[in-house]
Amino acid sequence: MQELTHYIDGAHVKGTSGRFADVYNPATGDVQAKVPLASPAEMNTAVEIAAKAQPAWAAVNPQRRARVMMKFVELLNRDMDKLAEALSKEHGKTMPDAAGDVQRGLEVVEYCIGAPQLLKGEYTDGAGPGIDIYSMRQALGVTAGITPFNFPAMIPMWMFAPAIACGNAFILKPSERDPSVPLMLAELMEEAGLPKGILQVVNGDKEAVDAILDHPVIQSVGFVGSTPIAEYIYGKGCSNGKRVQCFGGAKNHMIIMPDADLDQAADALVGAGYGAAGERCMAISVAVPVGDETADRLIEKLIPRIEALKVGPYTSGKDVDYGPVVTAAAKANIERLVQTGIDQGAKLVVDGRDFKLQGYEDGFFVGPHLFDHATKDMDIYTQEIFGPVLTTVRAKSYEEALAMAMDHEYGNGTAIYTRDGDAARDFANRINIGMVGINVPIPVPLAYHTFGGWKKSAFGDLNQHGPDSFKFYTRTKTVTARWPSGIKEGGEFNFKAMD
């Protein structure tokens, strides 16, 4: 059995707490490795090393820090297949989806190459008599990130790349369910020229999380995961005086207008609802067709598409549409919510409950499900399922559909499918949700814009990546300067008369 490590001070370090978590192969259900769970003492060691290394890194000029990011991009492209396979083996994603996970992180690293421009301050000449005022963006010091299982490459890079480009040191606490890729990323960063101690990976559970939140040296914490944990981390981190950004759960609605291209909408729903087995915070999990005729036609188009989905392990190649969910517990929770939907009166028009994959009976595979005639009071509508389950809630009008998305407690992403520019514009302006797609099913912004939801999907005033990330990982210092006059006249060659 493979025993994984922490990555501290440029080296793989065995855990000393005596506590471990099992790392599964989701396709087979077998335990393939064990990962150490850090104690507060182990976390403290990593923080002490980071604190010693950080000042020298912050003193490196931004252009040279950017060159490390340039080299890191090169290495990510070199090792793309290796990273994707390691990710698929622990998470269960298909290989193309795993490579996409790495690629979307890589794009944020590319953005961070612009650190010299992004870190420039402001200057006012002659703000007063002989007075100039200027501002500087300076690194926070030691920063930390707590990242989820569903994007073990992308989200760590969304956090550590801008933090490090700004001159900070970074402690990464990845998910204990799929920790291998974060360890590989730390190795690649140092191969790219990052000094030891600037990026460290400390594996762990709640004990490690609390050690981060309570440590006085750590200045900021980023988190992505469920809303209850996001609320806990945000509350505790802020009360300890840290800068905190937390991103929680989602229940993303796609509104399908009567004038929409229903073939296009159906294809979009299948990809956005079932890709990565639905384990995406930006997955579309609620379809809201406007009008019964639209709903009937949409369901008619969805059923054959969903029934044709190919579910299997990543080793089956590129023909597989999605793989297993991450753990047996995740599978059980999805199955529980499906049964709840049936019990509460929703119509299960595609039933994946009896799905079995020959040779992988012990894997964590879940067949695709499609509900119709769900209502807003049902658990399958109110709760985040995080699985291959699409729920259809019919709306009588555009206003009712809009209100559905606006009234839900989550506000991560949403989409509308329509040919009507006025409806699309109205939707984008009025909706109280952070990321909006117009005929785009998963509206994840590109790296040079920011990612972030509203309502109970996000806590904190700054989003991830894009310009907000450089604000989050720096402090602004403003200097007001006055210099005495008299020197500029030059030397005097005569005796000065006495006053």
Burial of 373 (0-12, 13-18, 19+ CB in 10 A): middle
CA 335 from centre of chain: 25
pLDDT at 1: 85
Alpha-carbon dihedral sign for residues 287, 321, 332, 225: negative
pLDDT at 317: 84
Question: How far apart are alpha carbons 213 and 349 in whole angstroms?
Answer: 46
Q: How many residues does the chain have?
A: 499
Token couple for 411? 């506000």
The answer to whether 218 touches 202, Cβ cutoff 8 Å, is no
How many CB atoms lie under 10 A from the CB of residue 18?
A: 8
Question: How far apart are alpha carbons 433 and 414 in whole angstroms?
Answer: 7
Question: How far apart are alpha carbons 358 and 360 in whole angstroms?
Answer: 5
68-111: per-residue pLDDT in tens? 999 999 999 999 999 999 999 999 999 999 999 999 999 999 99
Which H, E and C letters describe 85-105, residue by residue? HHHHHHHCCCHHHHHHHHHHH
Question: Out of 112, 166, 246, 281, which one is annotated catalytic?
Answer: 281
Nearest to 199, CA basis, from 168, 243, 153: 168
How many CB atoms lie under 10 A from the CB of residue 487?
A: 7
The answer to whether 161 touches 112, Cβ cutoff 8 Å, is yes
pLDDT at 483: 87
Q: Bridge partners of 336? A: none
Phi/psi at 144 (5° precision)? -145, 155
Summary count for the chain: helices (H), strands (E): 16, 23
Provide Rg for the chain, Cα atoms.
26
pLDDT at 103: 98
Whether residue 112 lies in the annotated active site: no
Alpha-carbon dihedral sign for residues 114, 460, 228, 254: negative
Look up the pTM and report it.
0.94
* Strand 199-201 to 169-173 pairing: parallel
Nearest to 217, CA basis, from 272, 159, 170: 170
Sheet holding 131-139, edge to edge: 123-128, 131-139, 474-482
DSSP one-letter code for 168: -
Question: How far apart are alpha carbons 165 and 100 in whole angstroms?
Answer: 23
Phi/psi at 462 (5° precision)? -130, 140
pLDDT at 488: 58
pLDDT at 486: 63
Token couple for 148? 């989820």
Question: How far apart are alpha carbons 235 and 83 in whole angstroms?
Answer: 34
Token couple for 93? 């994603």
Q: Which helix (H) or strand (E) holds 437?
A: strand 435-438
Task: Map tokens 């298909």 to a residue.
Answer: 94
3-state secondary structure of 233: helix
How many CB atoms lie under 10 A from the CB of residue 31?
A: 13
81-93: per-residue pLDDT in tens? 999 999 999 999 9
pLDDT at 164: 98
Kindly list the structural domains of the chain, giving each domain's residue range(s) and its CATH number in brackets, ordered by start.
Answer: 2-248+457-481 (3.40.605.10), 252-438 (3.40.309.10)
Q: Which helix (H) or strand (E) holds 145?
A: strand 142-146
DSSP one-letter code for 61: -
Kindly give the parts of the chain with pLDDT less than 50. Answer: none
